[in-house]
Amino acid sequence: MDLVERAQAGEAEAFGRLYDQYSDTVYRYIYYRVGGRATAEDLTSETFLRALRRIGTFTWQGRDFGAWLVTIARNLVADHFKSSRFRLEVTTGEMLDANEVERSPEESVLESLSNAALLDAVRRLNPQQMECVTLRFLQGLSVAETARAMGKNEGAIKTLQYRAVRTLARLLPQDAR
């Protein structure tokens, strides 16, 4: 909370530390929603730009600052999918990072198949279950933080999570569990 208050007072270093603390969480949330690195990077940057512009409107209500950022990101992702620009985009292959370590072809194929099966199963969940799983397991938010981000109570989140995990267990192939 101290960092937020300092950022609200105009201290750039405090906002930079908030960025360092939450940028990975926001990026992962967006990436698993949009599926593309470049788009995820753009929307993450836009999330923090909007947060910087509106930092003065953030009020502490027992809600984590990260949940506020995820709410901004969620709205940006929704706007992205509604925009006509999204429908006209043509994606290109991702460039490999120069410092990325090459894995063996076998490891790459096995990891790709496991990730593809899991992402396919997650995409087949209903929208609320998918969001709950994304926030809880991919973003690492607590039940309380997930409840605040989704505008639900903790009991509803626990039920959503339980049903989502049960559904995923049925949807995943036996060898991917």
Which pLDDT tens digit goes with each residue over 22-33?
Answer: 999 999 999 988
Residues 26 and 44 sit within 8 Å (Cβ to Cβ)? yes
d(CA 51, CA 66): 11
Q: Which of 95, 48, 98, 56 is nearest to 73 (CA)?
A: 48
Name the token pair of 147: 């409840």
CA–CA distance, 105 with 19 (Å, rounded to integer): 35
- Average pLDDT score over the chain: 80
User: 66-75, 76-85, 140-149: which has the minimum mean pLDDT?
Assistant: 76-85
Query: Above 50 in pLDDT, residue 114?
Result: yes
